[in-house]
A and B are shown apart, each in its own frame.
Chain A
Amino acid sequence: MERRQLAPGVFLTTLEAEKFNRCRITIHLRYPALRKSATDAAVLPLVLERGYAQCPDMTALSRRLARLYGADLGVDVGSAGVDRILSADICGIKDRFALGGENLTAAYADIVLGILFDPYLVDGLFDPEAVRIEKETLARRLQAEYNNKRLYCVRQARRRFYGDSPAGIELGGYLKDLPAVTPATLKAEYDRILSVASIDVMVQGADAGRVAEMLLDKLARVKRAPVRFASPLAMPITQPRHFREEIPGLTQAKLCMLFTTGTPEDLPSITVLRMAMSLFGGSATSRLFRNVREKQSLCYYCGASALRATGVMMVDSGVEPGREDQAEAAILKELEALCTGPITTEELDDCRRSLLSTLDALGDSLGGLESWYYGQILRDEALAPPEYGKVLFNAVTVEEVREVLQSYHYSVCYAVTAKEGAQ
């Protein structure tokens, strides 16, 4: 692994990829989210993915990728606490597998850099037709949230939990803001992102020197003023608030419980946090899986996860309508038992073994290794190989895990359930 700075706020990381059939190039642009342009930011990846200056037509681009033996191109936006990450990645087979001896890897770099830095513009703005179409696509996606009740329940809980906090800005944008998105507002958001973003390029199995040259050439045309990563935050501690929504025709109720640390100070190490989640509800040996699902048959799924940068822990589960209160009480009882009751070395070691195995496996996929290193970059940590993570996992104690779990306070419970008397 080698990471080098190409310019202020621009880094390139090269990762070993000899054993893989494919190679991969990913470009991450991390920037602060703004409520007023959240919907522009959500439309942007859809418009960018349609094509770029050298290949503006969506179908022509799809055909170009197919000609490269089905190279995978993706443009997406994700979150890192209050910040957002606009990412473009391309993954395709290595030259030696090309049936016609083509030079594929050079084409991958051209496409992924073109997508982010040479968008197709009409009179200096995004193509109005592409913007119109992708606004409609986003509208349909936002409306489709309701069709997936698990996702819908989690998002409704998050909305209650974060309220107007910057951490609550919707990643997918807002339906009501869509009419105001225009080629000009989209271009303004694009320019803002390019200007303020921290740029990280991850190269696996392609010519990193060529990628660096091309990137610097493209950035020479951009007025850059990179900003620092946003600080962590946490929602204040409140009395637990319960919300219940009845949906006629629903067969399985969904329950989402959110907890807050109440303070962004003293962030737990990611290693201890992962051990704590694994023990509570993140594995097949967790307390929630063993007791709430297996012993009590209360839920089909019941898992716990946490986000360090926003001090939140989430438990989501699928339960039989009418048994939501029982499931909620059982989940809280398991948390309480871990906070105040015994935790055996055996169960902690079970979780540790599973997580160590996950670390061992990181090097076996292009995406796994990239996520490991980019995760460290996002947390502003010095880069260390997965072997160092294993040393840290081996050192985690019962007391540290308990301390992390004790730091969470129950805040919001959102239940989506069948209409009373419908079952």
Chain B
Amino acid sequence: MSELERIREKAAAAVNCTGTTLPSGLRVLCRTMPGYSTVHAMYATAFGSVNRAFVLDGKQIDLPAGTAHFLEHKMFESEQGDAFDFYAKTGASANAFTSYDRTCYIFSATQKIDENLDILLGMVGKPWFTQQTIAKEQGIIGQEIKMYDDSPDWRLLTALFRCLYQYHPIRDDIAGTVESIATLTPELLYACTDAYYRPSNMVLSVAGNITLARAVAACQRAGLDKPWPEHRVQTLLPPPEGPVQQKEVAFTMPVNKPCFALGYREAPIPRGDTRREVICDMLPDLVCGGLTDLYRRLYDEAMVNPEFSGDYISAGGCCAIAFTGESEEPRKVADLVRAEIARLRREGIEEELFTLVKNQMYGELLADVEGVEDAAEEIGAAYLKGRSLTDEIEVLATLTLEEVNQALQTMLLEENSAYVEIRPTGTDEEES
């Protein structure tokens, strides 16, 4: 057996995921986990906050910021009542969340699995919106928006995207603004569900004490086993971005220590390009993760908190890598990160560090498929990005240092960067 085959076998055994595509176009994925009591299910659509314009059956629809998130809240209501009330009768714990590129509806349960799957597929499959119920939700979401307005981490990220992108909708908060969601109507919401809540744009992923056959049977009861009447949908993308327009921004908030973000705009990751995704994921750890000398210096010299970290964000048509933290000397930290990136580009990444980061990521992937929640959500999320967890493990095992060093020559470039700083209220005036 070759090294690659051995790794592939180990990866498949660790992930142990089966799947099928129904005639409706719905992809159903299942990780059966012997010995577990819980079932976690996620029904997700590739429709997130960055989906802001599309053509549906020849008609262009433009959406206000926050539409996908608003829709997520509204899907829990039907003419028959609130889905939370139905779940309460089965003992399931249910929730939903919206990200930049997807909306996910989830439940965890140990009993009445068929009933819970029926509730999940029913609530998402039969949207029901009225002017009155929309008005009520605007109040609740208005409070949610305000809660995020007080979060320095969230404000940093939004401000960073506003610097890095001139046109892309990632500039706007996932929940939108009180003003933007005030313009939503039942017609707009129905247009979104017609366009993006089609089975061929969705995935049902389940994990735990469940089989693929049981999940498929639930889809059959929901009528998802038949070919689906398709609307003609074309997602409209924003115009290509030019050079980064705003290199720096600073503003104040009631915080007692400056917060900062150093971000880099990267080329969007093509759907299914797992190697590129894995490289984006590991680069921040290679630059200033906990295993690096730079992190050690920043930490020991009290320039950052343990929470200082780098991360990547990828959604339709955009990709960014951001380093964020709190510091008394934010600009100095950002300069040290910049210098380290330049050094790595010049001298190359240390081989041992690269191997250790790969090891760490492999361990994280195995941890992800150990719990039913993470397992269902990770296999579903990977599918929506055009890959599988087995692909990720394979890529991780076969990725070479040369590939990463080469990628670094065209990534984390200074001309594609921006810097955001939040200063404590009263210490300074806003710069822009």
A positions within 8 Å CB-CB of B: 18-22, 58-59, 62-63, 66-72, 91-93, 97, 99, 133, 136-137, 140-141, 143-144, 146-147, 149, 247-252, 284-285, 293-294, 297, 299-301, 318-320, 350, 353-354, 356-358, 360-361, 363-365
Contacts and interface: CB of A to CB of B under 8 A. Distances in A.
A147 B90 contact: no
30 contacts: A21-B367, A59-B296, A63-B352, A66-B357, A66-B359, A68-B363, A69-B366, A70-B360, A70-B364, A71-B363, A93-B366, A133-B299, A137-B302, A140-B326, A146-B256, A147-B152, A147-B257, A252-B146, A284-B93, A285-B88, A300-B140, A320-B143, A354-B88, A354-B92, A354-B93, A357-B91, A357-B111, A360-B111, A361-B38, A365-B371
Nearest to B360: A70
Interface in B335-381: 352, 356-357, 359-364, 366-367, 369-372
Contacts of B305: 137, 140-141, 144
B85 interface: yes
B139 A58 contact: no
Contacts of A360: 37-38, 110-111
A361 B110 CA distance: 7
B238 interface: no
Nearest to A355: B91
B16 to A, nearest CB: 10
Interface of B: 7, 10, 14, 33-38, 84-85, 87-94, 108-111, 136, 139-140, 142-144, 146-147, 149-150, 152, 208, 252-257, 259, 290-293, 295-296, 299-300, 302, 305-306, 326, 352, 356-357, 359-364, 366-367, 369-372, 397, 425-426
A360 B259 CA distance: 42
A373 to B, nearest CB: 17
A19 B372 CA distance: 12
B158 to A, nearest CB: 13
B10 A21 contact: no
A19 B256 contact: no
B35 A19 contact: yes
Nearest to B371: A365
Given A144-B257, A147-B256, A300 B146 contact: yes
A66 B254 contact: no
A252 B147 contact: yes
Given A19-B33, A69-B366, A91-B367, 11 more contacts: A21-B14, A22-B366, A69-B363, A93-B366, A99-B362, A249-B254, A252-B150, A284-B87, A301-B147, A350-B89, A361-B38
B116 to A, nearest CB: 10
Given A63-B291, A147-B152, A356-B91, A297 B139 contact: yes
Given A97-B14, A147-B152, A133 B302 contact: yes
A79 to B, nearest CB: 21
Contact of B252 (A18, A249, A251, A365): A249
A301 B150 CA distance: 14
A358 B89 CA distance: 14
B91 A320 contact: no
Contacts of B296: 58-59
B294 to A, nearest CB: 10
A319 B139 CA distance: 11
A22 B359 contact: no
**4 pairs of A and B residues whose beta carbons are closest in the complex:** A353-B91, A70-B363, A297-B139, A70-B360
B31 to A, nearest CB: 12
A365 B37 CA distance: 10
Nearest to B14: A97
The listed residue with most A CB atoms (<10 A of its CB), out of B152, B254, B259, B372, is B254
A67 B397 contact: no
Contact of A300 (B14, B36, B143, B367): B143
Contact of B143 (A91, A93, A297, A354): A297
Contacts of B92: 354, 357
Most buried by A among B34, B146, B426: B146
A293 B110 contact: no
Contact of B362 (A20, A69, A149, A301): A69
A133 B257 CA distance: 18
